[in-house]
Amino acid sequence: MDPLSDVLSLLKPRSYIAGGFDVGGEWSVRFGQHDGIKCYAVVSGECWLSVEGVPHAVRLQAGDCFLLPHGRPFRLASDLTLTPVDALTILATARRRGGIALINGGGCCIVGGHFAFTGNHAGILLEVLPPIVHLQKESDKAAMRWSLERMRQELLDPQPGSALVAQHIAHMMMVQALRLHLAQGVSGGVGWLFALADKQMSAAITAMHESPGHHWTLQNLAEHVGMSRSIFALKFKKTVGTSPMEYLTRWRMLLAGDRLTNSSDPLSVIALSLGYESESAFSTAFKRVMGRSPRQFSRSQNAKTTSQSERQIERVGLEPVAG
């Protein structure tokens, strides 16, 4: 897989809400702090988006898509001077047509999904994104058009399996939005996501992701992308924010953490598959990057998973439909 697919697969984004709302007249709705990432798109109409801590509001028009990756409270409104109503309050009592809440409908229709990350270290993705990813170019809208219309139809006229289809479309919208954001070639950013826009840096990161157990050195990575060792090292550090070897070690440890949590592979097998000839060398690297030994990490993740499952069971039937 490619690096973006690798990271998303590792983080295991799960759409636990896929839906939308259609609101008309004069309105202002406030959404609270959230975990994970929200991805929405305006199917029709227009409105304002204001995110806490971001100085300028964004005007959203039909076809625009936006990601909110930092979990900050935000408002959607026809007029930001209006006193906002809490989203959970208004959406819980709204009339519904399929998966879309109707609030004096006929004005602005927004659909999308809210994604939680069941994998660890969501920061590897979220920390490299701005508070608002706003896609508004006509070419971006054209790329998203099929997904928007298909999701709108699934929500308005539910068929057998529509809930699952809507979740998958929301997932596809999120990935497409990240791809379009990456394709914009955002300048000035530092991190692996921005580095993917650079042909040589992307080739180096892809090589490490495709063969994490290979005995990579700074020299053979530089040769792989056709650069001198010194220039490659400087450019990688400037673009990604860390050295190639530090990036490789962190990626290996993230993979190891996932396997410790989700597989029954013994430590020796995991270590060897990631390029470590001894279990002790692997454990030392793991503790340095992850902050605890592999066995301590495995125990803590098993306890966390059990606790999350128990809380999920307790919440069944209590979650609000929108969010």
Phi, psi (rounded to 5 degrees) for 252 = -60, -40
Q: What is the pLDDT of residues 183-220, one digit of tens each?
A: 876 555 678 988 888 899 999 999 999 999 999 999 99
For residues 223-231, average pLDDT:
97
Confidence of residue 272 (pLDDT cuts 50, 70, 90): very high
Which tokens is 220 given? 């053979």
Rounded to 10°, the helix 279-290/244-262 angle is 100
DSSP for residue 84: P
Burial, 263: exposed, middle or buried (Cβ in 10 Å; 0-12, 13-18, 19+)? exposed
pLDDT at position 161 over 70? yes
DSSP letters of 246-262? HHHHHHHHHHHHHHHHH
Longest dimension (CA), the chain: 66
Residue 89 carries which side chain, given as an amino acid letter? T
pLDDT digits 0-9 by tens, 102-116: 988 678 999 999 998
CATH 2.60.40.740 fits 192-303, yes or no: no
List the beta strands (DSSP E) in the chain: 13-23, 28-31, 37-44, 46-51, 58-61, 65-68, 74-77, 85-86, 95-97, 100-103, 108-117, 133-135
Q: How confident is the model at residue 323 (pLDDT cuts 50, 70, 90)?
A: very low
Q: How confident is the model at residue 310 (pLDDT cuts 50, 70, 90)?
A: very low
Cβ neighbours of residue 28 closer than 8 Å, sequence gap 6 or more: 75, 76, 77, 78, 79, 80, 82, 83, 84, 85
Closest alpha carbon to 57 in 34, 74, 35, 32: 74
pLDDT value, residue 107: 85
For residues 174-182, average pLDDT: 89
Output phi, psi for 135, to 5 deg. Answer: -105, 115
Q: What is the pLDDT of residue 47?
A: 96
Q: By C-alpha distance, which of 273, 276, 277, 279 is closest to 294?
A: 279
Q: Quickly count helices (H) and strands (E) in the chain.
A: 13, 12
pLDDT recorded at residue 189: 67
Domain with residues 3-183, CATH architecture: Sandwich (2.60)
Q: Which SS3 state, helix, strand or coil, does residue 249 take? A: helix
Ranked by mean pLDDT, the top range of 96-100, 225-229, 309-313 is 225-229
Please provide the average confidence, as pLDDT, over all residues in the chain. Answer: 87
Residue pair 174/67 in contact by the 8 Å Cβ criterion: yes
Per cent of the chain over pLDDT 70 is: 90
Mean pLDDT calculated for residue range 225-238 = 96
pTM: 0.81
Measuring CA to CA, how many Å separate 127 from each of 37, 116, 189, 292, 320? 11, 15, 11, 22, 28
DSSP state of 83: P
- Which residues are bridge partners to 22 per DSSP? 102, 109
Predicted confidence band of residue 60 (pLDDT cuts 50, 70, 90) = very high
Domain ranges of the chain: 3-183, 192-303
**Tokens representing 194?**
């921005």
